[in-house]
Chain A
Amino acid sequence: MRPFDYLRANALDDAASKAGDGAQFIAGGTNLLDLMKLQVMTPETVIDINNIDGLDKIEPHEGGLKIGALVRNADLAADPQVRRAYPVLSRALLAGASGQIRNKATTGGNLLQRTRCPYFYDPAMACNKRDPGAGCAAKGGVSRMLAILGTSAACSAAHPSDMAVAMRALDAQVEIRGTDGATRTVAMDELYQLPGETPEIETSLKPGEIITAVILPAPQPNATQSYRKIRDRASYAFALVSVAAVVEMEGETIKQASLAFGGIGPRPWADAQVNAMLEGETPSEELFGKAADTLLAEAVTDEGNDFKREMTRRALVAVMREATGMAPASTGTDKVEALA
């Protein structure tokens, strides 16, 4: 770990004014501190945002919910409104990390957690994300946890979050406060940047910008939500593949479907084409299979992660079967209730 200055921000203005070059915000610290110890991240200044008032609330917002950036993952998962109206989010949160980590981890920190690519974690290995232009040691290496969609020649890292996958399926918006004090709201696909030639740039956040909240749109009261995570052990493992689904039926046809995937993309992965081809159709194995074909059409795999194709396909089909009523709902699939 490099020596660093520790500053505590008491207000958003304060945070913005303290955030100069080489500064990092710290929230739960569950990711940042690990990376600092390994010198994967070497901020000169660490700005603690935990004292900023008002960022730890879950509030009604335009028929939906506004979740403050400092709301702890454990609290968010346990919130009665979330459990009732956005069960997919509760399920996703509880499928992530461990009880201790969820007690500390925050909404903002979870969105911005870095990839778990093991080569990124080892400063002796070449990594374009850590050290732009250095090369990518993960290529041709142990690739089990790497992404298969949206990758580039420069980087194949996967985004590790479960929470963000559920939020993507819910079409959440992220509220960002600029250094000038102005607030803007972006969709998740605008927040996360694909690696392309610049895998070191992961989000559209500018230096000093802070995430203040995540906004969930009003729930669809007749929808079914589902989260399914496939992993290497029963708990405390990142997703090999995960699927979040929000599906609304109208009689025998799918009125609306929003799917998002974890473990396979550099960001919580959603494909508008996949959703569109499901909508207006009658559920069937064949339809779901075609959706999987479309989703995976551009997938790039190697020997170490080729299994993710079949696994993603199976997860998609199983989740859709449950969400559309073709199969009985199991743990992970819930009917949405209206907000209280």
Chain B
Amino acid sequence: MSDTFTMDEAQPRLLDETKQGLVGAPLDRPEGKLKVTGTATYAAEFKPEGMVHGVMLRATITRGKVTGFDETEAKKLPGYLGLFHGPEFVRNPAQGMAGAAPVQPGDRVDYHGQPIGLVVAESFETARDAAARIKTSYEQNPGAPVDPAGVELELNEKRESIQGDLDAAMEKAAQSVDLEYTTAGHVAAAMEPHAGIAEWKDGRLVLHGSLQMVRFNKEELADAVGIESDKVHILAPYVGGGFGSKLGISSEHVAAALAARELDRPVRIVLSRQTVFDAVLRRTETWQRLRLSADASGKLTGIGHEDRVSNLEEEAFSEPVNAASRFMYGAPNRVMRQHISRNHRTPTGSVRAPGEAVGTFALETAMDELAEKLGLCPVELRLRNIPEKHPDTGQAYSARALEDSLREGAKRFGWDQRPETGTRREGEWLIGMGVAAAGRANFLVPSAARVTLSADGALVETDMTDIGTGSYAILGQIAGEMLGLPIDKVSVHLADSDLPGASGSGGSFGASSSGSSVFLAARKIREQLADKLGCKFEELSLGNGEVSGGGKTAKLVDLLSDPISAEGKIEGGKTAKSHFSAGFGAHFAEVAVNEVSGEVRVRRMLGVLGIGRVLNEKTARSQAVGGMVWGVGSALHEELGHDPRTGHIVTRDLANYHVPSHADIPREMEVVFLPERDDEANPIQSKGVGELGISGAGAAVINAIHNATGVRLRHYPATPDKVLEGFANGR
């Protein structure tokens, strides 16, 4: 529609003028109490009349065809309602923002663990038992490759960018590094397992789903089931973590919808933890080669980042491993290149900070190695290589905190106390410090919201989700700030697909994109209030229920004979072309490495981040800390183990897939946000935070291990056995 605001030029910093004092304040989440008291209703916690229960069946071959199901034993169970499968079933979840059904393979099996059917019964227990009794027969197509290195690789031109002559630069360099890295596959493992309840009501498909992007999800589900998207109604008011794994609709949503239609009863499916590992998109494992060349002054002359990632055939997604390498540092000679291995391991997709989460391990530890070779402080090497313009595109950078965060972080962390490599010891523990820079591209995704102001207060409505990040809090804060209302006068209604369509939660763009739409809606209301009061828009001042401007003052209730409603809509515009917007920062870590066992403990961490305007200090900090914890996890613990014969995930529960435990995370996890406004990002001058927290955090830990021990580790996670191997290979 024509009233969509496009971000074509920097906007006035209106939120610096408003007086309510809500934006940025560390307010509690309004829904927090519901969540900690167990009364927030997550996807599986509705009890529609007549609800029945489903359990997904998985393929136990790697490649081939399902030729039949033997239900004899299942049918003996009282309460068994049947086995559902068919051409609408999806192979794996939709990739983020697909807006269309994922691959629907029919009876074809492309990976071990693929959902191939849904077993429904009157009770969950019966359904689970029945699922275990059903015998599936297959026509196997043996020899499916599951070793990412064992197939002919596909060059991904989309991620290729070559400038100058890197080989020549490497040859001429005063110092250079040419290193190989591997990172393990990861799974998001959100606390709330994937779940949905589907029901057909008044000709519409109603889905309570644990989903991140309702606007896209309704298109995906409609497409999969074969109905118009206005016949789909999705509700996802509370989501217990997503981290990318709930971006797209997944097998359980489609299966529940189909079974519900056939049975004419609501169907509930909650994936078991094991099925979450089997059937949800994982982060690819990576192989990476990182080349850096520098002249004697420590100026980079070349950067090469090549990688190999995995995915199934027909999946458009590939982990953008070199994402940060493209914009962090400048050098005239560059090679960015990706190859995709099409193999039959479980499919891959977006997991928190796709690209940066694993790519910065190579880039930022290679920078550390290069600094050592050059005899330069690693902070200094980074400071010397901050490019003026985006090296790929020539765009100007918008607000960029890279230099300030490195300097501020070094000061706060006590970087000048960093020991000489391998010299600080406390008993068996070797102590060291590491640094890494952080960078994560920032996006503005089309988003809409409606704000209604009445004498009772304001109501914000949008299909934006809150996946535990704080959307309820910040959207209320923005509306209250703009309309001069205390926070308890603002209510926020989210994640209902009949409401104006938002960006959804993904790519760290949700808060800024949906926040901007709320801001724009409220700005329209401010225009109307200025008219009603009879002052200019610029003169208008709102606070605690009062409206003033141009020498006049009125009570808000007196001005509002009828509620005022306005819709705000935003999309990216010219600033996205002229400027490159990204969050930047620096991570510092201190670790202790046990000389006997190779065990690593992080003792303290500091992240200094520039995220534009901070919308809520508390929820932003939680996002940043959460990201840093992920950094620790991918550096030290998290690893999907794939069976070398079938490709399936062997570590398919939380006892075998190790996320950091509390004892792995130090009390001292400090986060500092630098004061910043990103004028080119959006009209509220804010940027993403959750994924910036990961980016570089793990590399800081790895660099600290080197400082402690003299050992360079290039295969992650750095579990004790790898540290011991490092010891054995010489420090």
Interface residues of A (CB under 8 A from B): 1-3, 37-39, 116, 118-119, 121-124, 137, 140-142, 144-145, 228, 230-238, 240, 307, 310-311, 314-315, 317-318, 328, 330
Contacts and interface: CB of A to CB of B under 8 A. Distances in A.
B656 A118 contact: yes
Contact of A311 (B132, B637, B662, B724): B724
Interface stretch (B92-100, B289-297, B490-498, B640-648): B640-648
Given A2-B129, A240-B720, A311-B597, A328 B427 contact: yes
Interface in B636-695: 636-637, 641-645, 650-653, 655-656, 658, 660-664
B641 A235 contact: no
Contact of A234 (B652, B653, B661, B728): B661
B650 A235 contact: no
B372 to A, nearest CB: 27
Nearest to B126: A3
A236 B728 CA distance: 28
B28 interface: no
B597 A142 contact: no
Interface in B85-128: 125, 128
A242 B125 CA distance: 38
Interface in B406-433: 427-428
B725 A307 contact: yes
Nearest to A124: B60
13 contacts: A39-B129, A116-B656, A118-B656, A141-B650, A142-B650, A228-B597, A234-B663, A237-B661, A307-B724, A311-B721, A314-B596, A318-B597, A328-B427
B596 A318 contact: yes
Given A118-B656, A119-B650, A328-B427, A235 B128 contact: no
Contacts of A2: 129
A175 to B, nearest CB: 30
B601 interface: yes
A328 B428 CA distance: 10
Contacts of A37: 128
Contact of A330 (B129, B132, B427, B645): B427
Given A123-B132, A237-B658, A310-B724, A232 B597 contact: no
B660 A140 contact: no
Interface in B706-731: 719-721, 724-725, 728
Contact of A233 (B596, B644, B660): B660
B599 interface: yes
Interface in B128-163: 128-129, 132
A271 B651 CA distance: 31
A124 B651 CA distance: 14
A180 B662 CA distance: 48
B721 A122 contact: no
Nearest to A116: B655
A31 to B, nearest CB: 11
B129 A122 contact: no
A118 B724 contact: no
B597 A235 contact: no
Interface in B620-643: 636-637, 641-643
Contact of A140 (B427, B601, B645): B645
Nearest to A236: B661
B645 A141 contact: yes
A314 B597 contact: yes
A142 B643 contact: yes
Contact of B596 (A123, A140, A315): A315
Contact of A118 (B125, B651, B661): B651
A310 B728 contact: yes
Nearest to B655: A116
Contacts of B644: 140-142
A144 B641 contact: yes
Contacts of B645: 140-141
B599 A230 contact: yes
Nearest to A137: B643
Nearest to B639: A232
Contacts of A311: 597-598, 720-721, 724
Nearest to A321: B596
Contact of B636 (A141, A142, A233): A233
Contacts of B128: 1, 37
A3 B127 CA distance: 12
Nearest to A38: B274
A105 B645 CA distance: 36
A273 B643 CA distance: 37
Contacts of A145: 656
A169 to B, nearest CB: 19
B643 A235 contact: no
Given A232-B637, A315-B597, A1 B125 contact: yes
A38 B641 CA distance: 20
Given A39-B132, A118-B652, 7 more contacts: A3-B129, A122-B274, A141-B645, A231-B720, A232-B658, A240-B720, A317-B596
Interface string B501-516: 0000000000000000
Given A2-B129, A141-B644, A237-B658, A314 B664 contact: no
A88 B312 CA distance: 50
Contacts of B650: 118-119, 122, 141-142
Given A314-B597, A318-B596, A122 B652 contact: yes
B196 to A, nearest CB: 21
B720 A235 contact: no
Nearest to B61: A124
Given A118-B656, A140-B645, A311-B720, A233 B597 contact: no
Nearest to B113: A124
A235 B664 contact: yes
Contacts of B132: 39, 123
A1 B662 CA distance: 31
Contact of B643 (A141, A144, A230, A315): A141
Interface string B50-82: 000000001010000000000000000000000
Interface in B249-306: 274
Contacts of A317: 596
Contacts of B597: 228, 230, 311, 314-315, 318
A1 B129 CA distance: 5
B510 to A, nearest CB: 30
A121 B724 contact: no
Q: Which of B636, B652, B656 has the most CB of A within 10 A?
A: B656
A314 B660 CA distance: 25
Contacts of A238: 655
Contacts of B663: 233-236
A235 B662 contact: yes
A142 B721 contact: no
Given A121-B653, A141-B644, A314 B724 contact: yes
A124 B87 CA distance: 25
Given A232-B637, A234-B601, A314-B597, A240 B721 contact: yes
Interface in B223-250: none
Contacts of B129: 1-3, 39
B224 to A, nearest CB: 26
Interface string B169-207: 000000000000000000000000000000000000000
A38 B655 CA distance: 14
B704 to A, nearest CB: 16
Contacts of A235: 661-664
Contacts of B637: 232-233
Nearest to B656: A118
A237 B656 CA distance: 8
Contacts of A240: 720-721
The CB with the most chain B CB atoms within 10 A, among A123, A144, A232, A311, is that of A232
A307 B658 contact: no
A141 B721 CA distance: 18
A142 B229 CA distance: 44
B243 to A, nearest CB: 19
Interface in B567-581: none
A141 B643 CA distance: 5
B682 to A, nearest CB: 39
